[in-house]
Chains A and B, each alone.
Chain A
Amino acid sequence: MLPERLYKPLRALGTLIAMTRMPAERRHSRDYLSLVLGRRPAWREVFRHFFAFEEMLMGRLRVADGRDYRTTYGPGTADFKAWLENGGRVLIGSFHVGASDLQGCQIGGYEHLAVRIVRQRVGNSHDTDKLAERFGGRLQFIWINEPREALHALKAAADSPAAIVMHCDRVEFSARTAAFEFLGARRLFPVTIYNLALIFHRPVILAVGMPSGPAAAVLHASPRFEPVEGEPRAAAMRRAHAHFQDFLRKLETLLRADPWQWFNFIPMNPAAEVEPAAGEKGGKPQ
């Protein structure tokens, strides 16, 4: 095995070659960086963005192979830590940000926790197969490429004591969206997790991991959003939207401090044209 001081430059070269072959992703990176930096990014900054993504993928592979990874907890993570210690039927909302995927690996290390992770199956999903194998039945993936099947898989997961982890930043497979302030505009984000919370009476915790050095991350999380029995749907969704907006503000602060950690190399979440009232459907029906 190559030492890291030799391996890292090789990975950087590989990233550079990959980057030159991905014009659409480069454009989306530039668009995002322009928003978060407030200016047109330099070429090396786009490369830094790509390389941060490569580092995350490498970290995922290393953890899937059993390497140690250290997580510390940021302020306001008491509810997340309580869930880690005690378990429970929560919905965890995550984002394609920083070391967030690695938190799933960390969770898999808690032997009293069962977790179902909702994911889109893409070409680089082989590490998830390794993870599922490593953690046995306690960590399973629900693939959302077929939304109708995914909803039944979600229902089955919701009937189990497992926690369900799902991403809350890409609108492409989301049945419900709503508009939130993020990076200077009102943008659409998926809010399906809150609909599921109300249907299955499960609390929601939003969480991301930001890298804090080699093989280390700081976890940032929201307090729990709790469904209240009998609460009118519109009022519940207003609370849900406020909960999500609070976390998006926190996320934006984190990204402004470390802009390279936003791993959505796709068009930025679209600006909202007409926002549906809380409780109403938004986004494309499926």
Chain B
Amino acid sequence: MSSDPLITRLKHLIVETLNLEDIPPDEIDETAPLIGSGLALDSIDALELVVKLEKEFGIKISSSEESKAALASVKALADFIRERSGGTLSSGV
């Protein structure tokens, strides 16, 4: 399990949002690609995740380049959210 609470929260959020009932959140590799390989999410999953993340964290992901960067991995996603939320999520969540 990651010691980063944001990464732990994101793993749970991904599983809940995308109904990945057969994947325990703790088993998601935080450095593995989310789209294509890794969790094998498709473009609709990516869209659903982006909509959920925007709502949950009050951020805006407004282009395909941004979503590609943000969804590169769970770790990349956590970094992206921290950057966009102005560091307010840097300690604890």
Contacts and interface: CB of A to CB of B under 8 A. Distances in A.
Contacts of A155: 47, 50-51
B40 A199 contact: no
A141 to B, nearest CB: 18
Nearest to A198: B48
A62 to B, nearest CB: 36
B44 A176 contact: yes
A192 B47 CA distance: 12
Contact of A152 (B19, B36, B62): B62
Contact of A199 (B36, B51, B63): B51
Contacts of B36: 285
Nearest to A176: B44
B91 interface: no
A285 B29 CA distance: 21
Interface residues of B, number: 18
Nearest to A153: B64
Nearest to A234: B19
Contacts, number: 47
Given A155-B50, A155-B51, A195 B44 contact: yes
Interface string B42-79: 11111110110000000000111001100000000000
B47 A151 contact: yes
A175 interface: yes
A156 B68 CA distance: 17
Given A149-B64, A152-B62, A285 B42 contact: yes
Contacts of B41: 285
Chain A interface size, as a band, is 20 to 34
A175 B42 contact: yes
Contacts of A149: 64
B48 A148 contact: no
Contacts of B19: 233-234, 279
A196 B64 CA distance: 17
Interface of B: 19, 36, 40-48, 50-51, 62-64, 67-68
Interface of A: 147-149, 151-152, 154-156, 175-176, 192, 195-196, 199-200, 233-234, 279, 281, 285-286
Given A151-B44, A152-B62, 20 more contacts: A147-B43, A148-B43, A148-B68, A149-B64, A151-B43, A152-B63, A152-B64, A155-B47, A155-B50, A175-B44, A192-B44, A199-B48, A199-B51, A233-B19, A279-B19, A281-B42, A281-B45, A285-B36, A285-B41, A286-B43
